[in-house]
Amino acid sequence: MRRRSARAAIPRRAASQSSLWEHEQNMATLTSIRRGLNSIVAMAILGLLIASFALWGIPDVFTGGARTTVAKVGSQEISAQDFLRAYDRRIKQIEAQLGQPLDRSQAAALGLPQQVLQQMISERTIDLYAHRLGLRASRRQMIETLHTMEAFKGFDGQFDRTTYELQLRNAGYTPAQFEADLRREIARLQLIDALASWRPAPEVIADPLFRYRHEARRATVVSVPLPPAESVPPPSDEEIAKAYDLEKENYKTPEYRHALVAEISAATVADPAAIGEEDLKQAYEERKDEFVSPELRNVDLVTFARDEKEKAEEFARRLRAGEDFEKLLSEMTKFSPDEAALGDVSHDDLVKDYSTKIADRVFATPAGGVTDPLASVFGWHVFRVRDVTPPRERKFAQVADELRTRLARERAEEKVYDLSVKAEEAIARGADLNEVAEKLGLKLHEAPAVNRDGMLKGDGLADEVIRRHLATIFTLAPEDPVEFVSMNDGGFALVDVLEVIPPEIRPLEEVKDVIRANLIAERRLEAAGKKADGILKRMREEGISPEEAAKLADGNVLSTDWIERIEAGRGNKVAPGIGRLMFDLKKGEMAEERAADGNGYLIVRLDDVRLGDPRDPSSAQAYADLKRRLAEERVNDLLVMLEKSLRDEFGVEINQALLRSLVVPENQG
């Protein structure tokens, strides 16, 4: 009798955080988009920096309180909620890469919690330093970055505010949260870009490295193809039987498993048709603010120093009098028109960046108008309002379908948790997965015999649900209880393995033709190898030409292009094995190599060698790229030292007890 009970209790956290789990993939997508900002190089350097911080240990200095704060960097706190969201997102990324679940015990054993937390600490540290230096992203920079993000573009390829707001809602962001996060990242990149452009690599290092890496070689290659199959003796039945006995393990069927899977997720439970019109209208009224875009003003901003009030007044007066804006900028300031263009801003934007008073004055100014000089801690500001975009409300009819889907999924999330608890309880009472599925109305997917590749025994591909849980299916044994698996969409899957069908050695008659073909292929390759040995010997000892060698081999002769050392193993000009061989030989030497496609052998003669020349005009870009990469490595060392110094200065505190309670499974605590 098989034991039937739930493998582990479903975590209660799923009920309160299901909406967070639902958005993880979208959030990961938005994060990757945000990281593709102005400098890929700088972000790569930051990645190296973060990786090095994960190696540093910091003692637990919390002595009490701070029950929801995992760490502090100076005055900035990292909350338990922020940490868990980043940690869950990282686990899902690893699961996607591995193609199988990663449980919390494995993640903790790998040191993943510490790595994630150290990354968050590194980001906060850089943010504090950038803030102290006065680095910040302007509203215009943030808007320009938003407008380049593919995720926020409409059908016409241009930034679409409706798409933008929808994407953010799906990811669990408000525009204010996302834009604040984006501005921090841009400011962080400004700091790292400044360091990255600090100093180029010296020529005393770059020149010899360039000469070595860009050394180019040219060779002549003679092919020695496989002889025809009929030219080698066919294997006898005795030889085939002997090969079969020696290599039986190579002729096994794959392992198959009889498995059942049922999924409980918002996608399978949601029923948009059940959302009535009255409920839909009530939800629209309750969430009306979500469907309203604020009034925007497209403005230019010119800032003068604190002691330049009279100059600011003159600028505003002359601009109102009709003088050309660009000429005034050139005459009275150091700003270019692009630098002065702030773009579309809301009232809240100006309140955050400046003050309520300034925001009120700007929003009281009509299109085409110019404000008086307005004071802030940064100096005197003159705003020119280019145009006004009135508030825009998306009507009920425009959002009804979207809202219906959202309501259905929200209701389904509650039902998912309830169903999963009922399923767990039923299995604990001894019900099998068939009974549970029938009782709860779940669709049961069955594969009588499926292998690790998702292929069914006999023929055909298993259905998508079965294939989605192959990793779990092939970790369970028939005596194991039903496994509960958390899915990326916040739902659960119930997986049961009824039987393991072990690999079987196929009978000789079934694989006889395969063995015969393999033996013939081996004999053809052996014959080609002997022929290549003989021809190579004659080329070395008798000095026969490559053309004569090709004729003896019934093959071809060709001359390679110049192959640089850095591309020798890439396979884009010659096979990797041939490329590596070319850089092992001295000029005039010869050697042979098995053809990468298995069609015989190749004889290689190295004809010429040319060192890389950093002064060659055609090498200018490659040389500049090398110096840039060397500079990045030096800057990375500088960043590591800077980060260590900043951590010491700001102070880093970690609540190790809270961290352990968040990441260590209860049964291991």
Q: What is the pLDDT of residue 131?
A: 82
Q: What is the pLDDT of residue 388?
A: 93
Q: Is residue 651 within 8 Å of 77, Cβ to Cβ?
A: no
Compute the average pLDDT of residues 197-225. 86
* 125 burial type by CB count under 10 A (0-12 exposed, 13-18 middle, 19+ buried): buried
What are the helix and strand counts (H, E) for the chain? 27, 18
Q: What is the pLDDT of residue 584?
A: 94
What does the block give as tokens for 615?
A: 């002064």
Nearest to residue 553, comparing CAs of 599, 505, 508? 599
What does the block give as tokens for 543?
A: 């000095």
Question: Model confidence over 602-622: pLDDT tens digits?
Answer: 999 999 999 999 999 988 898
Q: What is the pLDDT of residue 181?
A: 80
Checking if the pLDDT of 38 tops 70, the result is no
Q: What is the pLDDT of residue 44?
A: 36
Question: Model confidence over 114-127: pLDDT tens digits?
Answer: 999 998 998 889 88
Q: What is the pLDDT of residue 141?
A: 85
Handedness of CA 17, 85, 8, 479 (dihedral sign): positive
Compute the average pLDDT of residues 77-106. 81
Query: Could you tell me the pLDDT band of residue 665, with boundaries at 50, 70 and 90?
Result: low
Q: How far, in Å, are 161, 341, 353, 514 from residue 295 at the CA level?
A: 13, 18, 17, 74
Mean of all residue pLDDT scores within the chain: 82
Q: What is the pLDDT of residue 441?
A: 87
Q: Is residue 582 within 8 Å of 219, Cβ to Cβ?
A: yes
Checking if the pLDDT of 59 tops 50, the result is no
Question: Quick one: DSSP state of residue 159?
Answer: B
Q: Output the 3-class SS for 205-241.
A: HHHHHHHHHCCEEEEEEEEECCCCHHHCCCCCHHHHH
Query: Could you tell me the pLDDT band of residue 564, with boundaries at 50, 70 and 90?
Result: very high
Question: Model confidence over 370-408: pLDDT tens digits?
Answer: 999 998 877 899 999 999 999 887 888 887 888 887 887
H-type alpha helices, 222-308:
237-246, 266-269, 277-286
Query: Could you tell me the pLDDT band of residue 410, with boundaries at 50, 70 and 90?
Result: confident
Query: In angstroms, how far is CA 339 from the centroid of its own chain?
Result: 33
Query: Could you tell me the pLDDT band of residue 198, with boundaries at 50, 70 and 90?
Result: low
Query: Could you tell me the pLDDT band of residue 200, with boundaries at 50, 70 and 90?
Result: low
Question: Model confidence over 131-171: pLDDT tens digits?
Answer: 888 887 888 888 888 888 888 887 667 888 878 887 777 65
Q: What is the pLDDT of residue 311?
A: 94
Checking if the pLDDT of 41 tops 90, the result is no
What does the block give as tokens for 609?
A: 């060698």
